[in-house]
Amino acid sequence: MSSSDHPESGAVSAFQRLRSRIKPRERLPIWRLRLIFGMVCLTFSEVVMWQNPPRRAWFEWIALYVLYTALGAIFLDLAVRFQVRTPASLGLSSGVYGMAACAIINHTAYENIPFGLLARGMGLQVGAGFLALMTFLIVMRGKRPDPLQVGLAGVVGVAWGLWMHWYPIQPNVNWGLVTLESAQIYLLAPLLVMGALFQFGAPRFGTFREGMFALQWWEAILVGAPLFIALMVGMINGAIPFLPLLIPAAVIAFCVWALRWQMRRRGYEPSILANITFIAPNLLTYVAMAAALIFVGSLAYPLIDGAGSPFGVALYFVVTGFGSAWLPFACGLIFWELLRTDWNEDFKKKK
């Protein structure tokens, strides 16, 4: 029997053909960026938006990192696939991220519907997706710290300091009071890991086409599998009820449809990820923003004097208002752009 007829040699050649098709070595730099973005997503969704980190066992953080890396890879894929750049498209793509995070990963979509969904799902988690993407882009661009960006990081820190002090002591939540020292530790730990990943994990001074962030078929399977498993496990153990799941699923479907529709109407434009085709992360920018977040947040912590604190109540209404408004606002921007484009075309024809 010739070597070509041997079953083992046939399996080896098939594996070599598959490897030549998917080219995993060429995709490693992109996966390094996805791993960094996954940590950014985990930090904002779980700690900055305070999903009660003290209740998590150490091994749960490993699972969360895998899930947020998978979801972050899908988020980046949406950004390039639908040429996300405008405020409307940024809102819709962040909506897909936020709805998937609150429905599959942290299950905040099912708590106290509709107010819990609006505040913690459509509010906090959609905001977390937007902030994670902006942080990733700002640091990866490699520019020096911008006072406005550092100031905005401080504003996010105020929200973190107020929320993680006020929300856990609400009678209907009853997580227990979070001390400032405990909250600082839980935030500082992922911030240090994130900084190390930015400094040592990013393929520095490399040039990437934005289209490289799109998922290949095998990568789509790779990132979809853990999210699908988390969805099935959650449904089996009752953490994800079927009927309430239809709400975030419908929002995700609508956002994807709207992204696809507005992309076709607008024509080709580079996505927002085109801003970081040259990877040169600036650690000084990251340190300045992270320091502003945790320092200003620590100053805001004492402003909460109890469950009925006006600062906490005001923040809750702001978050709920954001959760209620971002989808209609994004749709309104798309509708306005459509009217303006059609009007300009009609005006040109009349001339």
Domain boundaries, the chain: 18-350
* pLDDT tier, 20 (very low <50, low <70, confident <90, very high otherwise): low
**Dihedral angle sign, alpha carbons of residues 184, 186, 190, 193:** positive
User: Tell me, what's the pLDDT at 22?
Assistant: 65
Query: What distances in angstroms separate CA 197 from CA 32, 141, 252, 285, one per listed residue?
Result: 9, 15, 30, 14
User: Tell me, what's the pLDDT at 43?
Assistant: 98
Read off the pLDDT of residues 200-211 as tens digits, 9 standing for 90 and up. 988 877 777 888
CB burial of 272-305 (b: ≥16 within 10 Å; e: otherwise) equals: bbbebeebebbeebbbbbbebbbebbbebbebbe
Alpha helices by DSSP H, the chain: 7-22, 24-42, 58-81, 87-100, 115-116, 126-141, 147-166, 180-196, 217-236, 242-266, 283-300, 310-350
Alpha-carbon gap, residue 244 to 240, rounded angstroms: 8
Read off the pLDDT of residues 83-112 as tens digits, 9 standing for 90 and up. 999 999 999 999 999 999 999 999 998 888
Alpha-carbon gap, residue 226 to 293, rounded angstroms: 31
Read off the pLDDT of residues 228-251 as tens digits, 9 standing for 90 and up. 999 999 999 999 999 999 999 999
pTM for this model (two decimals): 0.91
User: Tell me, what's the pLDDT at 297?
Assistant: 97
User: Tell me, what's the pLDDT at 243?
Assistant: 92
**Average pLDDT rounded to a whole number, residues 45-50:** 96
Question: Chain-wide mean pLDDT for the chain?
Answer: 89
Return phi, psi of residue 207, to 5°: -110, 130
User: Tell me, what's the pLDDT at 112?
Assistant: 81
User: Tell me, what's the pLDDT at 282?
Assistant: 87
**Average pLDDT rounded to a whole number, residues 62-76:** 97
Read off the pLDDT of residues 266-309 as tens digits, 9 standing for 90 and up. 667 888 988 887 778 889 999 999 999 999 999 999 999 999 99
